[in-house]
Amino acid sequence: MTSVGTPAPAYPGLNAATEELKSLLGKRATTAAAVREQHSHGESYHTPAAPDVVCFPQNTEEVSEILKISAKHQIPVIPFGAGTSNEGHVHAVRGGITIDMREMNKIIRISPGDLDATVEAGVLRKQFQKALSNTGLTFFVDPGPDCTLGGMASTRASGTAAVRYGTMRENVLSLKVVLADGRVIQTGTRARKSSAGYDLTRLFVGSEGTLGVITEVTLRLHPLPEAVGTAVCSFETLHGAIEAVIETIQLGVPVARIELADEVTMDAANRFSKMNYPVAPTLFYEFHGRNTEDVKDQAAMAQSLAEEHGGSGFEWATQLEDREKLWKARHDVHYAFLALRPGVGQSWAHDVCVPISRLADCILETKKDNVGAPFPIPLVGHVGDGNFHMTYVLDPTNEAEVAAAHSLDDRMVRRALAMGGTCTGEHGIGLGKMKYLELEHGPATDVMRAIKYALDPENRMNPGKMVEPHTLF
């Protein structure tokens, strides 16, 4: 990622806007090429596109002022968290002002009594976890990288514990948002439930910066489980592993995490982490309970279901050290994948999500379709939700590989949609999945356009992502 895309168009008011931003923020507004380049991309393969200017506000009022300058001079705004997007959410495809939120990193309030907390949007996930230590509470939404809570809210992120604790959809109680004209709103309250008006919180969660800039996030916390157990189990077939997952969910075993890795992933993990797990479809489990007995009990049920479906070598542990060792293979897969093609490979991770009854079909057909691909394609999946990822470990300078990747991904998405699923379970639309939005939502896409028009008629909020604004009637 060396070339910086040339922003089009050139905004007549850009120089005036830049002066106003500098006068507002001093050195925290910059047009330095290196900073613009850093903000031209996330972690995805999309062609970088740099903004014209990058701002680093330190509070909501400054974000509001930036939006007023954007409105005055008709210049786009792109919110930027930790830049870990897989789908090109942060690319400044039409230039403009990137708002890097990372200097808004204060933890405003942690209320153990209410099991909630409010943080500024730039607070990182791991920073937040650290702040929660000694409260007896935790926050379970855990996408792979160390992203910002604001970024996680705006992309409706999830992770490995969503099967029990939900995604950002379930774990955001309220948001502070700056609208396109600089107006500041608070969505929802700290009450656990409410029937008072349209659910604006859920509207902004997952809106990818296209409706406003999230500056504060109020999050639901969960008590730390008294006892935790982890298990790993290998299966004769992928189909058997998936059947074991489905029955575990159906019988109401409250698994906290249930992750699938295929034989390609296990092979990569063994090599990278110097382990000796069977090179076979594998489930990683985590159980949370009120005591060790409770956890053992859950594990016993899961084990018995696994064995009915060809699972063997069910290995489990409740000690912290053993647990960490068992999950290490799962957490390190990203690096293990890159190590499959050292110095050459980039990892392009694509995710879809289907109703769980179609999961086996969707995965097996996709793996069949992947046979003969010019690069390795390991699979990992948050399969308790019907969500899985195929990672193309490819050489991005090789045109044939890139073409094959696009084609395989396209067929996987269409397969998932045909099975009643969604084109992305947790990575978001960004640039990468825009072409599937209407295919998935049909005429409901027009409602999305109308909402975009209602909140951003001038199309200044992260334009070129999600939908273009348009009236419904």
Considering only residues 26 through 45, tell me which ones interact with a copy of itself, judged by CB under 8 A.
none
The three-state secondary structure class of 127 is helix
Per CB under 8 A, contacts with a copy of itself among 206-245 are: 206-207, 211, 222-226
CA distances in angstroms from 367 to 297, 352, 390, 411, listed in the order given: 34, 14, 9, 11
Backbone angles phi, psi at 62, to 5 degrees: -65, -40
Backbone angles phi, psi at 382, to 5 degrees: -90, 70
* x/- track of binding to a copy of itself for residues 262-291 (CB under 8 A): ----------------------------xx
β partners of residue 257 = 286
Please state the closest distance from residue 166 (CB atom) to a copy of itself, in A.
8
Please state the closest distance from residue 404 (CB atom) to a copy of itself, in A.
24
**Are residues 417 and 436 in contact, defined by beta-carbon separation less than 8 angstroms?**
yes
Q: What is the DSSP letter of 225?
A: P
What are the residue ranges of helices labelled H in 188-274?
Answer: 200-204, 238-250, 263-273
Per CB under 8 A, contacts with a copy of itself among 423-452 are: 423-429, 433, 436-437, 440-448, 450-451
Q: How far apart are CA 341 and CA 321, in angstroms?
A: 30
Q: Which helix (H) or strand (E) holds 233?
A: strand 227-235
Size of the site for a copy of itself (CB under 8 A): 105
* x/- track of binding to a copy of itself for residues 118-157 (CB under 8 A): ------------------x------------------xxx
User: Rounded to the nearest 10 degrees, what angle do helices 238-250 and 292-308 cross at?
Assistant: 130
CA distance from start to end of the chain? 42
Stretch that binds a copy of itself, among 50-58, 177-185, 306-314, 389-397 (CB under 8 A): 177-185
- In the complex with a copy of itself, which residue's Cβ is closer, 372 or 442? 442
- In the complex with a copy of itself, which residue's Cβ is closer, 51 or 212? 212
Please state the closest distance from residue 137 (CB atom) to a copy of itself, in A.
8
> Binding a copy of itself by CB under 8 A: which of 32, 251, 400, 403?
251
Please state the closest distance from residue 304 (CB atom) to a copy of itself, in A.
12
Q: How far apart are CA 196 and CA 361, in angstroms?
A: 41
Please state the closest distance from residue 425 (CB atom) to a copy of itself, in A.
5
60 touches a copy of itself by CB under 8 A:
no
The three-state secondary structure class of 453 is helix
Q: Which helix (H) or strand (E) holds 335?
A: helix 333-338
Stretch that binds a copy of itself, among 74-82, 194-202, 302-310, 402-410 (CB under 8 A): 194-202
Q: Which helix (H) or strand (E) holds 314?
A: strand 311-317
Please state the closest distance from residue 431 (CB atom) to a copy of itself, in A.
14
Stretch that binds a copy of itself, among 25-33, 355-363, 364-372, 392-400 (CB under 8 A): 355-363
46 touches a copy of itself by CB under 8 A:
no
Stretch that binds a copy of itself, among 28-36, 75-83, 189-197, 263-271 (CB under 8 A): 189-197
169 touches a copy of itself by CB under 8 A:
yes
Backbone angles phi, psi at 388, to 5 degrees: -140, 160
